């Protein structure tokens, strides 16, 4: 990994950034049994610099071929920085290892790795709350103009990937990732590995 620093004040946090990334890289390798072969560049910004380059005002970090993150000296924010780094490193792994993996797999697995609670996500679909339509869930739900739809898409993705982790082994999940990563549809990949389709996965994940 290469890191581009921008100010002396930020440099004090570089070792902390690398520590979080190295630990996350080890965990991802253990789960996926593979790692990217190319160098992953991490660009560290101050808050002001990050606001100038960020394409997602709501995100504290993002991945666009490089991991970009704002690092603050405030120690109370270190836990959120750890989660952000783990989330974006997961995207970096998935993009190289499974290049055609769909958005829901990316966001579900990245949230799982950054520490989001599957139980909390599942709770959002209690009391008969409807799931996103299949076509929207399998598409670019993060492009919606409606914040509620985006939030629901993320929660539904986490709930779905969390269910796959419970429904089978790590080997099965890796097999599923290889299939969708090669361009096999979510329905076909799920059917081959888990013997159910997207609709069934979501229903079971939501406890229906």
- Quick: pLDDT tens for 159-207: 999 999 999 999 999 999 999 999 999 999 999 999 999 999 999 999 8
Beta pairing, strands 41-45 & 67-70: parallel
This prediction has a pTM of: 0.90
Q: Tell which wins on pLDDT, 58 or 195.
A: 195
Domain final residue pick, 78, 97, 116: 97
Q: Which residues contact 86 (CB under 8 A, 6 or more apart)?
A: 20, 24, 110, 113, 114, 115
Residue linked to tokens 């996965």: 201
* 27 shares its domain with 58: yes
Say what the pLDDT of residue 65 is. Answer: 93
Report how many domains make up the chain.
2
Sheet of 61-63: strand order equals 2-4, 41-45, 67-70, 61-63
Residue linked to tokens 């990994």: 1
* 120 shares its domain with 201: yes
* 64 shares its domain with 119: no
Say what the pLDDT of residue 16 is. Answer: 83
Q: For residue 49, name the pLDDT band (cuts at 50, 70, 90).
A: confident
* 107 shares its domain with 28: no
Say what the pLDDT of residue 3 is. Answer: 47
Average pLDDT value for the chain: 89
In this predicted structure, the answer to whether residue 9 has a pLDDT above a threshold of 70 is no
Q: Tokens representing 52?
A: 């100038």
Domain of residue 165 covers 103-205
* 86 shares its domain with 138: no
* 64 shares its domain with 24: yes
Say what the pLDDT of residue 13 is. Answer: 72
- Tell me, what CATH number does 85's domain have? 3.40.30.160
What is the residue-wise DSSP string for 59-108? -SEEESSSEEEE--S-GGGHHHHHHHHHHHHHHHHHHHHSTT--HHHHHH
Domain final residue pick, 42, 70, 97: 97
Residue 144 per-residue DSSP state: -
Residue 126 per-residue DSSP state: -
* 108 shares its domain with 201: yes
* 110 shares its domain with 178: yes
Beta pairing, strands 61-63 & 2-4: unpaired
- Quick: pLDDT tens for 10-47: 566 777 888 899 999 999 999 999 999 999 999 888 77
A 10 A CB-CB count for 37 gives 7
**Cα separation of the two ends of the chain:** 43
**How far is Cα 66 from Cα 37, in angstroms, rounded to an integer?**
14
* 70 shares its domain with 124: no
* Mean pLDDT of the region 106-115: 98
**How far is Cα 104 from Cα 97, in angstroms, rounded to an integer?**
16
């Amino acid at each position: 990994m290469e890191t581009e620093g921008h100010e002396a004040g930020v440099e004090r946090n570089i070792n902390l950034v690398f520590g979080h990334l190295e630990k996350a890289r080890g965990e991802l390798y253990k789960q996926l049994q593979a790692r990217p072969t190319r160098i992953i560049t991490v660009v560290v910004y101050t808050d002001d610099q990050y606001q100038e380059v960020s394409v997602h005002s709501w995100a504290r970090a993002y991945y666009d071929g490089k991991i970009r993150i704002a690092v603050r000296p405030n120690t109370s924010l270190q836990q959120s920085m750890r989660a952000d780094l783990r989330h974006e490193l997961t995207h970096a792994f998935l993009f190289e290892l499974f290049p055609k993996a769909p958005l829901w797999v990316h966001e579900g697995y990245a949230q799982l790795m950054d520490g989001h609670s599957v139980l909390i996500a599942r709770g959002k679909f209690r009391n008969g709350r409807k799931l996103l339509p299949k076509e929207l869930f399998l598409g670019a739900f993060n492009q919606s103009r409606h914040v509620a739809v985006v939030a629901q898409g993320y929660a539904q993705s986490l709930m779905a990937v969390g269910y796959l982790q419970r429904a089978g082994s790590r080997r099965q999940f890796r097999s599923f990732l290889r299939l969708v990563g090669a361009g096999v549809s979510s329905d076909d990949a799920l059917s081959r590995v888990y013997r159910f389709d997207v609709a069934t996965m979501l229903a079971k994940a939501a406890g229906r």
